Amino acid sequence: MARTVEGNMPVSYLYTPGLGNTAFFEALRDRAVLLGSRCAACSYTYLPARVFCERCFAELTPDTKCGPGGVLESWTVARAGIDGEHLAEPRSVGLVKVDGADTVLMHLLLGPVQWEIGTRVVVVLKDGRSGSILDIEGFEPA
């Protein structure tokens, strides 16, 4: 059984997305596109975009459109929120390998679906996007 320690720890931070994630968020907001980076040396595509290859350290350009479909690689059901609170409705969270990418993207799975690994899914974007990962509502069956 997992142990927990009750208490509060106030933390403030400023997230700086860097060049690769900035390109990803701007493409998501402005063009409704999932933008990745493809390494010419490794033939490996990262999503979200990166500015260097984590495998061979080659310089990358965030210019590879991925999706909007993909394959569900893994998933789980959350019955508690990030602060341990009980969720009235369980939420499914999945790892999706978006078409054209070699990495996975973790996000909500939408709808009352009996999820299975290998299920084809498609990204659902919000209207009025702001340039955040939350511009993606989640993934639904294709």
Pick the more confident residue, 120 or 20: 120
Pick the more confident residue, 39 or 11: 39
Beta carbons of 123 and 67 less than 8 angstroms apart: yes
Pick the more confident residue, 15 or 108: 108
Average pLDDT, the chain: 93
Is 80 exceeded by the pLDDT of residue 9?
no
Range 18-34 average pLDDT: 95
Please list, in sequence order, all residues whose beta carbon lies within 8 angstroms of the beta carbon of residue 1, skipping any fewer than 6 positions away: none
User: CA-CA distance, 105 to 95, in Å (whole number)?
Assistant: 5
Is 80 exceeded by the pLDDT of residue 108?
yes
Pick the more confident residue, 110 or 111: 110
Is 80 exceeded by the pLDDT of residue 91?
yes
* Interval 27-74: pLDDT, tens: 999 999 999 999 999 999 999 999 999 999 999 999 999 999 999 999
User: CA-CA distance, 31 to 10, in Å (whole number)?
Assistant: 36
Q: Note the pLDDT of residue 107.
A: 97
Which amino acid type is present at position 1? M
| CA 90 from centroid of its chain's CA atoms | 19
Q: What is the pTM of this model?
A: 0.86
In the numeric block, the tokens 């495998």 are attached to 55
Q: What single-letter DSSP state applies at residue 59? A: B
